Chain A
Amino acid sequence: MVGELSTSGVLRSIRLIIRDKSVVIGTIMLLSIGLLAVLAPYINIPYFNSMIFPRFSPPSPRNPLGTDHLGRDILARVLWGARISLAIGICAAGLASVIGIVLGSISGYFRSKVGTVIDGLINVFQVIPAFFLALVLLVIFGSSVYLLMLVIAITTWPMIARIMRAQVLSVKERLFVESAKAIGCGDLHILFKHVIPHAIPPALAYTILEIGAAIMMEAGLSYLGLGDPNYPSWGRMIYEGQPYIVSAPWISLIPGAFLVYTVIGVNLVGNGLLRIVNPKLAQR
């Protein structure tokens, strides 16, 4: 069956992926950004915080993407920003997914007290509007790159947990699980070695989408001024360019464009994976 984590399953999935055009496009987009991000320190661009250029210059040969209000080169900042924004997005989503997968699986598998408690936890966290909670946390503790990752992860794990839980619930009922139990395998052993690998694909696909959501959330939080001022994440750049939006729009619009580009890429890939995992939609 499609969606299982077995070698043939994976290969089949990869074949499906390649056939899906949108996913290919998305992957290309992501790889391009990722490449730029990784290579940033080696390209010959000015230091992202050097203020040696004339302020507010529109894009020109010397500064291909223009300069900002302090005279810093925007191209350099955007490339470094790629590293920061991607790092925040990936780590936050990763963290959220780890928490979500673990808690979701436990709650799905153990219908006992533990399961109910975690259920309740998931419900509570779902009711709290994510953005709101993030706001309050950041206002309390100030802001830094690591804190942003943490905060975004804390507010977005419930979604993944729910998916995981639903998956585990259905996988749990399958025959091979029953047989494993009959043989006498321990619960935890069954959970980790058998149930989770079968239940995980939708959660993983969703995690990819979470990366996009995390990047957007970071942008939103930075837009309110809660980003990390020491690094030029894209959201932070949009925030800094806000007051000059009319006279020097490129300061905000360029990082915004990069952001949209990246999120589109992420969404294409994530959606593609989701489609593979839910085969019914791939038919007809």
Chain B
Amino acid sequence: MGVYMVKTFTLRIAVLVTVMLITLPLFVVPYEVSAQTSTGSITCPYKGGTLIIIHMGDPKSFNPDAKADDPLYAIASNIFNKLVTLDVDYNVIPDLAESWEVSPDAKAFTFHLRKNVKWHDGTPFTCKDVKYTFEAMQKYKGVAYSNLKLDMLEGITCRDDYTAEFRFSDSNAPFLGFLAWYGTFVLPEHLYNKTEYTDWMDPNIPALSKPVGTGPFKFVEYVKGSHVTLEANKDYFAGAPCIGKLVFKIIPDAVAAMQSFLAGEGDVLGVTPPLSEIPRINSTEGVLVLARPMPSRYFMAYNMAQEKGRITLNKDVRFAIAYAINRTEIVEKAFSGYGFVAKGMYVPAIAWAYNPNTQPPSYNPAKAEEILDRLGYTKGPDGMRRLPDGRVLELKLVIWQGAQTEAMAQIIKENLRKIGIEVKIEVLELGAFQEKAYKDKDFDMSITNGFWGPDPHNMHMRFSSKGSHNLPGYVNPVTDDLLERAAKEPDLEKRKQLYWQAQEEFAKELPYFPLVDVVGFYISRTDWKGFYWELPGKVGINVYAQVWWAKGVTTTSLQPTQTTQTTQPTQTATTTPGGGLEQWLLPVVVVIVVLVLVALVLTRRRGT
């Protein structure tokens, strides 16, 4: 009996304690005050505050040049600098290099570096850091290795502490564009270049987990799966940032991210939400949604690998399929209208190289039917076309897993069903896709997306037989030659002509069918201003150095939004989701009371 009493008692206590532990935090309201004073130079109408970015994922490490690490990119852009960088319009603007010269044959690039730049630990930044970074990139095959054509790099010379010269064995026309883009952040030589490290990803390097850069924000902490916190670098060469802290809150799931943002747990939504939700987000009070076209597009590649009997090798078939696809419907349904029917064989967003005279086929199902009838693919009794041997004409469409691509695939399947072609969709997750689609080429059609900038040399990678990323497996000596020559041509006008010719050829042969040009979204709270998309030409992509808390300045013209404590730098009122204690105090109390009663009831019937 005694044993049992004890057991009951402890069980009862356990239940109560658990209940209490779980519900107690609900009664706590958090407060935090953080004020910043800064000796400023970036004009800061208001100083202080914490900006929270809802972010897409965990960084793999803090070396932004070694591997492709999309989640790291935005974070690294605030900790590090590149020599030159891209602004929101994809123009090259100065970063650590104030100015530069390119030799007429595009083999030598000289950069004049800023003086008086310091690393976050106080060490001065010099040409030695640049030399180390790019030589390491060459040695350890950093992510930008092939873009920058580092296999052609003969050497980097430091003429003095602030002049860096890059020499290539052959003409490297696209160099600047790619230098401004990805995986080209300058790393601190004094922290990386030690003989005891095997390479720049050696786990013993402290800078790999506590990065040190030259950028506007310093690293504070990283809690895996949760967040990355940065704080303002008061000695930043362009002036101290206006905000005190920059936090990246990691929520990879698009819906959860959106929910979190709408609940006030973030100030910038860095994860693209389901596009159908955009109107709702836009009409939320205090939220601003901006859209900009981007040089990214979704396109469909036909399988162009030579093989007997492959249907997609027939140009007419390719055109017929293209005529049958209703791209407007795709934009409306798969993108909720936020996108553009793709124009031209290259992206309009890179305006200088875009050829407006070469357009892919537009929606014309009658023509599609006519072509297929003419080719002899007659329709059977079920409405589906038959091959000469009597089998149903069925094509395999391979895509990688994602809400967008899957929606597009469904629409295309339905479009083609209407003209009598059966489409089997195969969804692979990304890794399997890269193997089966790119390597094995086990598809008739495949949809993917991609960033087609910052330089039209991107076309070489995607559609030249020597390209590393030739999804259709397309081989055409004409385009191959045009693209090779364009990569070596230093004169911009001549390059443009070559790319225009290439686009003409692509439009004639249609090895790929451009589908939708992507719109990029910038979603933020109106409480904040100074984002990089508002400052083209001045601030690089993803850099939050110039952001300031607009709510703190009552005289500027802002939309009237919910008034909260106006002088607090941190929005305390929007912290607790659902705002207001009173709302949930009552139900919570009821829940606790009920649980306690239940526990008491259960335990009373027992033992005694």
CA distance A244 to B401 in the complex (A): 17
Q: Inside 8 A of A139's CB, which chain B residues have their CB? A: 429, 431-432
Flag whether B152 is at the interface (Cβ < 8 A): no
Interface string of A16-30 (1 = CB under 8 A from B): 000000000000000
Flag whether B91 is at the interface (Cβ < 8 A): no
Q: Which 7 A-B pairs have the closest CB atoms?
A: A243-B274, A229-B425, A225-B401, A229-B427, A70-B333, A142-B428, A243-B255
CA distance A71 to B274 in the complex (A): 16
CA distance A47 to B115 in the complex (A): 68
Stretch at the interface among A48-56, A200-208, A256-264: A48-56
Q: Inside 8 A of A60's CB, which chain B residues have their CB? A: none
Partner of A51, one of B333, B424, B425, B431: B333
Chain B positions 387-443 with a Cβ under 8 Å from a chain A Cβ: 401, 403, 406-407, 409-411, 413-414, 417, 424-429, 431-432, 436
Q: Inside 8 A of B429's CB, which chain A residues have their CB? A: 139, 225-226
Partner of A243, one of B254, B409, B427, B431: B254
Indicate the size class of the contact surface on chain A.
Answer: 20 to 34
Given A140-B432, A243-B403 in contact, is the A51-B414 Cβ separation under 8 Å? yes
Given A70-B333, A244-B274, A247-B276 in contact, is the A51-B411 Cβ separation under 8 Å? yes
Flag whether A246 is at the interface (Cβ < 8 A): yes
Chain B positions 475-504 with a Cβ under 8 Å from a chain A Cβ: none
B contacts with A, residue count (CB < 8 A): 29
Q: How far is the CB of A281 from chain B (nearest CB, A)?
A: 24
CA distance A50 to B414 in the complex (A): 7
Chain A positions 55-74 with a Cβ under 8 Å from a chain B Cβ: 55-56, 69-71
Most buried by B among A55, A70, A246: A70
CA distance A139 to B435 in the complex (A): 12
Apart from A51-B411, A70-B407, A243-B277, what are 12 other A-B pairs with CB-CB below 8 Å?
A51-B410, A51-B414, A55-B276, A69-B333, A69-B407, A70-B333, A70-B411, A143-B427, A225-B429, A229-B427, A243-B254, A244-B276
Partner of A245, one of B255, B413, B426: B255
12 cross-chain CB contacts under 8 A? A49-B410, A49-B413, A51-B329, A51-B414, A142-B426, A142-B427, A144-B426, A229-B427, A230-B413, A230-B424, A246-B255, A246-B259
Flag whether A119 is at the interface (Cβ < 8 A): no
Q: Inside 8 A of B259's CB, which chain A residues have their CB? A: 246
CA distance A242 to B403 in the complex (A): 9
CA distance A15 to B433 in the complex (A): 55
Q: Inside 8 A of A246's CB, which chain B residues have their CB? A: 255, 259, 277
Partner of A49, one of B254, B329, B417, B428: B417
Interface of chain A: mostly helix, strand, loop or mixed: loop
Flag whether A210 is at the interface (Cβ < 8 A): no
Contact present for B255 and A142 (CB under 8 Å): no
Q: How far is the CB of A245 from chain B (nearest CB, A)?
A: 6
Interface string of B447-464 (1 = CB under 8 A from A): 000000000000000000
CA distance A53 to B403 in the complex (A): 20
Flag whether B159 is at the interface (Cβ < 8 A): no
CA distance A247 to B275 in the complex (A): 12
Flag whether A240 is at the interface (Cβ < 8 A): yes
Partner of B414, one of A49, A69, A142: A49
Contact present for B432 and A229 (CB under 8 Å): no
Closest chain A residue to B334 by CB distance?
A70
CA distance A142 to B433 in the complex (A): 9
Q: Inside 8 A of A51's CB, which chain B residues have their CB? A: 329, 333, 410-411, 414
Closest chain B residue to A230 by CB distance?
B425
Q: How far is the CB of B335 from chain A (nearest CB, A)?
A: 11
Interface of chain B: mostly helix, strand, loop or mixed: helix
Q: How far is the CB of A16 from chain B (nearest CB, A)?
A: 34
Closest chain A residue to B399 by CB distance?
A229
Closest chain B residue to A243 by CB distance?
B274
Contact present for A225 and B277 (CB under 8 Å): no
Flag whether B280 is at the interface (Cβ < 8 A): yes
Q: How far is the CB of B193 from chain A (nearest CB, A)?
A: 40
Partner of B276, one of A69, A144, A242: A69
Chain B positions 4-41 with a Cβ under 8 Å from a chain A Cβ: none
CA distance A240 to B404 in the complex (A): 10
Q: How far is the CB of A232 from chain B (nearest CB, A)?
A: 10
Interface string of B242-276 (1 = CB under 8 A from A): 00000000000011000100000000000000101
Q: Inside 8 A of B274's CB, which chain A residues have their CB? A: 243-244
Q: How far is the CB of B504 from chain A (nearest CB, A)?
A: 34
CA distance A176 to B464 in the complex (A): 77
Q: Inside 8 A of A70's CB, which chain B residues have their CB? A: 333-334, 407, 410-411
Interface string of A62-95 (1 = CB under 8 A from B): 0000000111000000000000000000000000
Q: Inside 8 A of A225's CB, which chain B residues have their CB? A: 401, 427, 429
Closest chain A residue to B401 by CB distance?
A225
Q: Inside 8 A of B409's CB, which chain A residues have their CB? A: 229
CA distance A50 to B329 in the complex (A): 13
Q: How far is the CB of B105 from chain A (nearest CB, A)?
A: 49
CA distance A199 to B413 in the complex (A): 49
Q: Inside 8 A of A230's CB, which chain B residues have their CB? A: 413, 424-425
Most buried by B among A140, A229, A240: A229
Contact present for B406 and A240 (CB under 8 Å): yes
Chain A positions 204-252 with a Cβ under 8 Å from a chain B Cβ: 225-226, 229-230, 240, 242-248
Q: Inside 8 A of A56's CB, which chain B residues have their CB? A: 276
CA distance A49 to B411 in the complex (A): 9
CA distance A55 to B406 in the complex (A): 16
CA distance A230 to B413 in the complex (A): 9
Most buried by B among A50, A143, A243: A243
Q: How far is the CB of A132 from chain B (nearest CB, A)?
A: 15
Interface string of B116-142 (1 = CB under 8 A from A): 000000000000000000000000000
CA distance A230 to B601 in the complex (A): 53
CA distance A140 to B435 in the complex (A): 10
Q: Inside 8 A of B413's CB, which chain A residues have their CB? A: 49, 230
Interface string of A147-183 (1 = CB under 8 A from B): 0000000000000000000000000000000000000
Q: How far is the CB of B404 from chain A (nearest CB, A)?
A: 10
CA distance A69 to B329 in the complex (A): 12
Q: Inside 8 A of A242's CB, which chain B residues have their CB? A: 255
CA distance A105 to B544 in the complex (A): 67
Q: Inside 8 A of B333's CB, which chain A residues have their CB? A: 51, 55, 69-71
Closest chain A residue to B423 by CB distance?
A230
CA distance A225 to B334 in the complex (A): 17
Q: How far is the CB of B409 from chain A (nearest CB, A)?
A: 7
Q: Inside 8 A of B432's CB, which chain A residues have their CB? A: 139-140, 142
Q: Inside 8 A of B410's CB, which chain A residues have their CB? A: 49, 51, 70, 229
CA distance A70 to B330 in the complex (A): 9
Q: Inside 8 A of B334's CB, which chain A residues have their CB? A: 70
CA distance A244 to B406 in the complex (A): 15
Q: Inside 8 A of A226's CB, which chain B residues have their CB? A: 429
Q: How far is the CB of B34 from chain A (nearest CB, A)?
A: 32
Q: How far is the CB of A145 from chain B (nearest CB, A)?
A: 11
CA distance A246 to B255 in the complex (A): 8
CA distance A246 to B253 in the complex (A): 14
CA distance A50 to B259 in the complex (A): 31
CA distance A49 to B416 in the complex (A): 12
Q: How far is the CB of B144 from chain A (nearest CB, A)?
A: 29
Q: Inside 8 A of A49's CB, which chain B residues have their CB? A: 410, 413-414, 417
Q: How far is the CB of A243 from chain B (nearest CB, A)?
A: 4
Q: How far is the CB of A279 from chain B (nearest CB, A)?
A: 30
CA distance A58 to B108 in the complex (A): 63
Q: Inside 8 A of A50's CB, which chain B residues have their CB? A: 414
CA distance A247 to B281 in the complex (A): 11
Closest chain A residue to B417 by CB distance?
A49
CA distance A71 to B406 in the complex (A): 14
CA distance A71 to B425 in the complex (A): 19
Q: How far is the CB of B464 from chain A (nearest CB, A)?
A: 29
Contact present for B428 and A247 (CB under 8 Å): no
CA distance A144 to B428 in the complex (A): 11
Q: Inside 8 A of B436's CB, which chain A residues have their CB? A: 142
